[in-house]
């Protein structure tokens, strides 16, 4: 069942999405070597609750934390822990909130200090691919047009591994709604996009091969070859001529650029 939102509901979803963006901007301010992902988890929980919202990941299907903190070869769903982050880590924070009954859910990958040029390129290309997909989120296109745009920019152009097992999704009063939005596929395939469908588009792209496995905790997804993975995600509303991005990376990027511990040279 695909749910389409009213303009008033889209406006409420934008508020939820922006709260996620503001929370991720707070993460950008605090990231440095020595910080732990458990500290990030606590910060996000407090910030969200202070803004009269609920962290939506906590206890979702039994998930035991408020955010997913995925480091280096962890693709998604990494558990926050008390291990200090270090120079050269790539840190993906994925989180969601419920505000006024509506979900916001997106992710951003940060680079802590100096990394190789190939990792810089992976982050750059994955972020670019997100916007390539968003360009296709317009009325009359199909889900496969989004998927194909992401795959062509990452896998076909650069040879990266596009994760198959995890996909983007519809978003609304539930964290995961129809339709599924893969990061691979054929143009012209899949459900047709109609106005005011809200979706989370989220490329998960591996430096090496596409294969992944789930760790013994039942949640943490890692690359099979141990190479880094990058994850970006926006909340997007389908419109007639140009997709409406409900979340806002600009406030995250401002905080990121002001933090001397974060590497933004790939911009």
What pLDDT is attached to residue 98?
98
What pLDDT is attached to residue 142?
98
* Entry field: residues in the chain: 267
What pLDDT is attached to residue 180?
98
What are the pLDDT digits (tens) for 81-118? 999 999 999 999 999 999 999 999 999 999 999 999 99
Who contacts 200 (Cβ-Cβ below 8 Å, separation ≥6)? 105, 106, 168, 169, 170, 171, 181, 233, 234, 235, 236
What pLDDT is attached to residue 238?
98
The pTM for the full model equals 0.98
What pLDDT is attached to residue 194?
98
Q: How far apart are CA 235 and CA 247, in angstroms?
A: 6
What pLDDT is attached to residue 251?
98
What pLDDT is attached to residue 76?
98
- CATH code of domain 7-258: 3.90.230.10
- Give the residues of the chain that fall short of pLDDT 50: none
Residue 118's SS3 state is: helix
Any idea where the domains of the chain sit in the sequence? Answer: 7-258
What secondary structure letter does DSSP report for 190? S
């Amino acid at each position: 069942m695909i749910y389409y939102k009213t303009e008033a509901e889209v406006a409420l979803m934008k508020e939820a999405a922006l709260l996620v963006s503001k929370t991720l901007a707070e993460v950008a301010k605090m990231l440095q070597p020595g910080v732990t992902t458990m500290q990030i988890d606590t910060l996000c929980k407090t910030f969200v609750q202070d803004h009269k919202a609920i962290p939506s990941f906590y206890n979702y299907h039994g998930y035991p934390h408020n955010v997913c903190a995925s480091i280096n070869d962890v693709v998604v769903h990494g558990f926050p822990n008390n291990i200090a982050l270090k120079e050269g880590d790539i840190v993906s924070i994925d989180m969601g909130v419920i505000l006024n009954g509506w979900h916001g859910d997106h992710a951003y990958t940060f680079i802590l200090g100096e990394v190789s040029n190939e990792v810089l390129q992976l982050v750059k290309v994955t972020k670019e691919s997100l916007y390539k997909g968003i360009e296709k989120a317009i009325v009359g296109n199909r889900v496969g047009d989004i998927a194909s745009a992401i795959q062509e920019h990452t896998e076909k152009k650069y040879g990266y591994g596009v994760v198959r097992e995890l996909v983007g999704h519809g978003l609304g009063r539930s964290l995961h709604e129809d339709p599924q939005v893969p990061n691979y596929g054929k143009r012209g395939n899949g459900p047709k996009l109609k106005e005011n469908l809200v979706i989370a588009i989220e490329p998960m792209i591996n430096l090496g091969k596409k294969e992944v496995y789930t760790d013994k905790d039942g949640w943490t997804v890692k690359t099979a070859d141990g190479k880094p993975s990058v994850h970006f995600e926006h909340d997007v509303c389908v419109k007639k001529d140009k997709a409406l991005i409900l979340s806002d990376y600009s406030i995250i990027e401002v905080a990121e650029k002001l933090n001397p511990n974060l590497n933004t040279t790939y911009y």
